[in-house]
């Protein structure tokens, strides 16, 4: 590798000479330069040598378990006769993604080769933008070559791209109402607005990206943590159903929220609570159920007074599959059809988004749920399968995470999926979520 970099270095240094590039204004053009996280951008580069191999390198720094970490991508192109590069036109022939995809440098980000690999890009505080550094290098370089400390390879062009988690006019309001904790995001205007509760899974804490984007599309959104946040329970087994009932009651009666019913969007462990809320809380009229178990698992769910709400299915780890990347538990739920949450007894509309390479929840369970719906209720349920996608289905252009440590369980979990199919699933599912919520909460 070092020899190859030394061969490239004279070419790069010559091309980076001020006389070669200083006359080119805005040589890396990103339109728009500041954009919402779920918005596509157009990347063009001018002033490069014609018919030349180049690498586009994207980097962002985030925080993982209170430590800074870097996520990186690289894509390989050949410039045009005019020395231009246009990601809307030009195909990546190598790197972290291949093919024609203008957003590839974003969704193909992966942990830096210089750091731990079992981490996930977690976007938390909705007020802070995500900053990406885009750099252009001559030659086709791998991520390892780009981060090598024994080389002086320099980019010929560099720029910064800003991706906003929410529109500037969306308000972020911390919530401490009774026992309810979280963040309320309100779109501009007097309202009332269609209301959505947004929840994540067994990692705990508060994640804001999906909630901020939903608010940017006109919804009043309560980002609702249920453990490992402020004074909420530290353990998942200590969560009681009263908490969700109180959150539904408070949020659905808020003056900024339409009074004809709310929606719930949830993934993984949070999704099982979403089904229970739709089944037991009449205010919930829509649910987006993302890669969740359609039954309650792990612990018995009670109210604070000890009243049993739902018997939990205990994991049978005899069926767990350990891999080099992490643990797969998709076959560890010893369920029967009686275990399923009978959400069909409600009048709620449910959109099921199921990744077919999910290694935490058996994808076939989504079809079992569909078959349990009575014929006269099936119009309330829509099931969408995504081949090649993994468990952590997030807003579009989020990097795919195949495996990482689950902080609650203290071990690496295999989430599954491959980057390109997962990216397709995230973009398609996001558009479906927005359309579904607008249709049933308008």
Q: What is the pLDDT of residues 259-303, one digit of tens each?
A: 999 999 999 999 999 999 999 999 999 999 999 999 999 899 999
* For helices 269-280 and 241-252, angle between their N-to-C axes, nearest 10 degrees: 60
Query: Which has the minimum average pLDDT: 143-152, 361-370, 426-435?
Result: 143-152
Active-site annotation, residues: 268, 358, 391
Q: How many residues would you count in the chain?
A: 442
Write down the pLDDT at residue 6.
40
Write down the pLDDT at residue 13.
32
Which position has the token pair 């599954």? 416
Shared fold status for 2-164 and 171-441: no
* Per-residue pLDDT tens over the stretch 87-143: 999 999 999 999 999 999 999 999 999 999 999 998 778 889 999 999 999 999 999
Q: 25 pLDDT band (50/70/90 cuts)?
A: low
Gyration radius of the chain's alpha carbons = 23
Strand order in the sheet with 42-45: 28-31, 42-45, 85-86
The proportion of the chain whose per-residue pLDDT surpasses 70, expressed as a percent, equals 93
Q: Is the pLDDT of residue 15 over 90?
A: no
CB of 129 closer than 8 Å to CB of 32: no
The proportion of the chain whose per-residue pLDDT surpasses 90, expressed as a percent, equals 86
Write down the pLDDT at residue 21.
41
Helical residues (DSSP H) of 32-142, grouped into ranges: 104-107
Q: Is the pLDDT of residue 4 over 60?
A: no
* Per-residue pLDDT tens over the stretch 168-213: 999 999 999 999 999 999 999 989 999 999 999 999 999 999 999 9
DSSP assignment of 4-52, as one string?
A: HHHHHHHHHHHHTSHHHHTT-TTSEEEESSEEETTS--EEEE-SPPTT-
Write down the pLDDT at residue 18.
35
Write down the pLDDT at residue 26.
65
Write down the pLDDT at residue 216.
98
CATH topology classification for 171-441: Rossmann fold (3.40.50)
Structure tokens given for 417: 């999926």
Domain limits of the chain? Answer: 2-164, 171-441
Write down the pLDDT at residue 149.
64
Q: Is the pLDDT of residue 256 over 80?
A: yes
Query: Which residue, among 274, 300, 298, has the nearest Cα to 287 in the 3D structure?
Result: 274
**Which neighbouring-strand residues pair with 288?**
265, 351
Write down the pLDDT at residue 153.
84
Provide the phi-psi class of 205: left if phi over 0, else alpha when psi is between -120 and 50, else beta: left
Write down the pLDDT at residue 11.
36
CB of 404 closer than 8 Å to CB of 119: yes
Write down the pLDDT at residue 106.
98
* Per-residue pLDDT tens over the stretch 355-388: 999 999 999 999 999 999 999 999 999 999 999 9
Q: Is the pLDDT of residue 2 over 90?
A: no
Q: 67 pLDDT band (50/70/90 cuts)?
A: confident
Write down the pLDDT at residue 109.
98
Calculate mean pLDDT across residues 133-155. 90
Burial of 256 (0-12, 13-18, 19+ CB in 10 A): middle
Query: Which SS3 state, helix, strand or coil, does residue 257 take?
Result: strand
Helix H, strand E, coil C: the string for 236-300 is: HHHCCHHHHHHHHHHHHCCCCECCCCEEEEEECHHHHHHHHHHHHCCCEEEEEEECCCCECECCC
CA distance 363 to 355: 7
CA distance 382 to 166: 28
- Top-level CATH class of 2-164? mainly beta
Q: Is the pLDDT of residue 5 over 50?
A: no
CA distance 435 to 194: 13
CA distance 226 to 229: 7
Would you give the DSSP letter of residue 270? H
Mean pLDDT of the chain: 93
Write down the pLDDT at residue 23.
40
């Amino acid at each position: 590798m070092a020899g190859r970099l030394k061969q490239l270095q004279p070419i790069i240094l010559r091309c980076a000479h001020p006389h070669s590039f200083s006359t080119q204004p805005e040589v890396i053009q990103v339109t728009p330069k500041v954009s919402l996280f779920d918005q596509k951008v157009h990347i063009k580069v001018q002033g490069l040598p014609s018919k030349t191999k180049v690498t586009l390198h994207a980097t962002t720094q985030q925080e993982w378990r209170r430590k800074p970490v870097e996520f990186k991508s690289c894509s390989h192109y050949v410039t045009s006769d005019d020395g231009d590069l246009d990601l809307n036109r030009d195909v990546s022939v190598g790197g972290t993604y291949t093919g024609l995809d203008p957003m590839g440098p974003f969704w193909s980000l992966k942990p830096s080769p210089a750091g731990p690999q079992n981490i996930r890009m977690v976007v938390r505080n909705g007020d802070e933008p995500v900053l990406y550094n885009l750099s252009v290098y001559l030659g086709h370089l791998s991520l390892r070559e780009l981060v090598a400390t024994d080389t002086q390879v320099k980019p010929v062009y560099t720029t910064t791209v800003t991706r906003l988690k929410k529109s500037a006019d969306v308000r972020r309001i911390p919530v401490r109402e009774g026992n309810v904790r979280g963040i309320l995001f309100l779109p501009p205007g007097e309202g009332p607005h269609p209301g959505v509760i947004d929840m994540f899974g067994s990692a705990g804490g508060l994640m804001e990206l999906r909630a901020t984007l939903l608010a940017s599309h006109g919804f009043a959104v309560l980002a609702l943590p249920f453990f490992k946040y402020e004074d909420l329970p530290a353990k998942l087994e200590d969560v009681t159903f009263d908490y969700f009932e109180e959150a539904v009651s408070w949020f659905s009666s808020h003056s900024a929220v339409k009074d004809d019913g709310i929606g719930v969007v949830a993934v993984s462990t949070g999704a099982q609570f979403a089904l229970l809320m739709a089944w037991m809380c009449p205010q919930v009229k829509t649910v987006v159920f993302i890669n969740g178990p359609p039954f309650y698992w792990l612990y018995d769910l009670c109210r604070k007074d000890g009243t049993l709400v739902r018997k939990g299915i205990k994991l049978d780890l005899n069926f767990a599959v350990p891999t080099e990347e992490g643990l797969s538990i998709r076959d560890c739920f010893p369920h029967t059809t009686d275990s399923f949450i009978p959400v069909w007894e409600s009048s709620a509309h449910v959109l099921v988004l199921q990744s077919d390479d999910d290694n935490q929840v058996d994808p076939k369970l989504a079809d079992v749920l569909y078959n349990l719906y009575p014929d006269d209720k099936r119009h309330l349920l829509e099931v969408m399968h995504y081949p090649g996608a993994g468990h952590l289905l997030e807003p579009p252009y989020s990097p795919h995470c195949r495996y990482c440590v689950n902080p609650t369980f203290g071990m690496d979990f295999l989430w599954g999926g491959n980057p390109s199919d997962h990216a397709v699933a995230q973009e398609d599912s996001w558009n479906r979520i927005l359309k579904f919520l607008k249709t049933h909460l308008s």
